[in-house]
Each structure stands twice: as structure tokens, then as C-alpha cells.
């Protein structure tokens, strides 16, 4: 096993442990749609941004299935920004109204939801495939 695979396995194991500790859950209907989208092969994976060109991170896939009209082409380059309602445009994390559509309980006043987003982004940006991320979501969220 290569050093990079050992590193990725450690990131996935840590994410699972931390997500279990947080004890938050996705809404079942959203979870099902996200798992299907991540495993469909319809989304090209990208790291570092919600969406860049035709590539998405796992959080960008979440945004796309909850509001595919929220994307706006960046003024420079191939990147995209995502916005919802009056919340500012963002390139790295879903805005609060989108996050609220993901979870069973209210996201107001809870730091746990940001930690979930961070764990998913870290797996994505460390090289975990959409299939691996979907497996973690299915088991832990």
C-alpha cells in the first residue's frame, strides 16, 4: 500500500470517528439524492472549490442537487460561485440556506454542521473518490 493510500485511509477513518461523535444526520430524502448523485458517474470530481469548470467537490454536488440554479460563473477563470437567497456568493462551502436543507435538525447556533462540511471537504480534497465519500455518508450521516 502506498504512503498516499495510507494517508487517505487515515483521513477517512478520522472523518468517520469524528462524524460519529457529532451525531448529526442528513435528511433522509437529501441523503438518498446525494448518494445517488455521487455514485452516478454524472459528476466529474474536483478539489478545492464547490465547482470549477465541469468539476465538482462533494459539497458542490450537494449544492447542485438542492438548487442547480444557484451557480454563477466567476468573472475570471473557469470557477463558479454559489449563492442562495441573500447569502453571499461562495466558492468553497455551501451557504447556510443550503446547509439547512441538508440536515434533520436546525443548523442555527450549531458549530457541528460546519465540522461536518469540513470533514467532507477534507476527504474530497485529500483524494477520496466520490464512491468513498458516499460510503462514509451512507454509514455515518
SS (H, E, C) 36-89: HHHHHCCCEECCCCCEECCEECHHHHHHHHHCHHHEEECCCCCEEEECCCCCCC
Instruction: Tell me the per-residue pLDDT of 22-38, one tens digit each, with 9 for 90 and over.
Output: 888 999 999 999 999 99
Q: Using one digit for the tens of pLDDT, what is the confidence trace for 31-68?
A: 999 999 999 999 999 999 999 999 999 999 999 999 99
Q: Is the dihedral of CA 11, 111, 105, 40 positive or negative?
A: negative
- Structure confidence at residue 134 (pLDDT): 98
pLDDT given at position 60? 96
pLDDT, tens digit, 9 for 90 and up, residues 82-115: 887 777 677 888 888 888 899 987 666 567 888 9
Helix 130-140 crosses helix 112-125 at what angle (to 10 degrees)? 150
Q: Residue with C-alpha cell 466567476?
A: 74
Enumerate the domain spans of the chain. 3-140
pLDDT at 108: 61
For residue 118, pLDDT over 80 is answered with yes
Q: What is the pTM of this model?
A: 0.90
* Contact status, residue 37 vs residue 65, Cβ threshold 8 Å: yes
Amino acid at each position: 500500500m502506498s504512503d498516499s493510500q495510507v494517508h487517505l485511509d487515515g483521513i477517512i477513518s478520522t472523518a468517520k470517528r469524528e462524524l460519529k461523535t457529532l451525531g448529526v444526520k442528513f435528511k433522509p430524502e437529501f441523503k438518498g439524492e446525494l448518494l445517488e448523485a455521487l455514485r452516478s458517474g454524472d459528476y466529474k470530481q474536483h478539489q478545492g472549490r464547490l465547482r470549477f469548470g465541469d468539476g465538482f467537490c462533494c459539497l458542490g454536488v450537494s449544492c447542485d442537487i438542492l438548487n442547480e440554479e444557484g451557480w454563477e460563473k466567476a468573472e475570471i477563470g473557469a470557477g463558479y460561485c454559489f449563492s442562495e437567497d441573500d447569502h453571499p456568493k461562495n466558492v468553497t462551502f455551501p451557504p447556510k440556506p443550503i446547509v439547512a436543507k441538508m440536515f434533520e435538525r436546525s443548523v442555527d447556533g450549531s458549530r457541528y454542521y460546519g465540522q461536518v462540511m469540513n470533514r467532507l471537504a477534507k476527504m474530497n480534497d485529500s483524494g477520496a473518490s466520490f464512491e468513498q465519500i458516499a460510503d462514509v455518508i451512507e454509514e455515518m450521516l
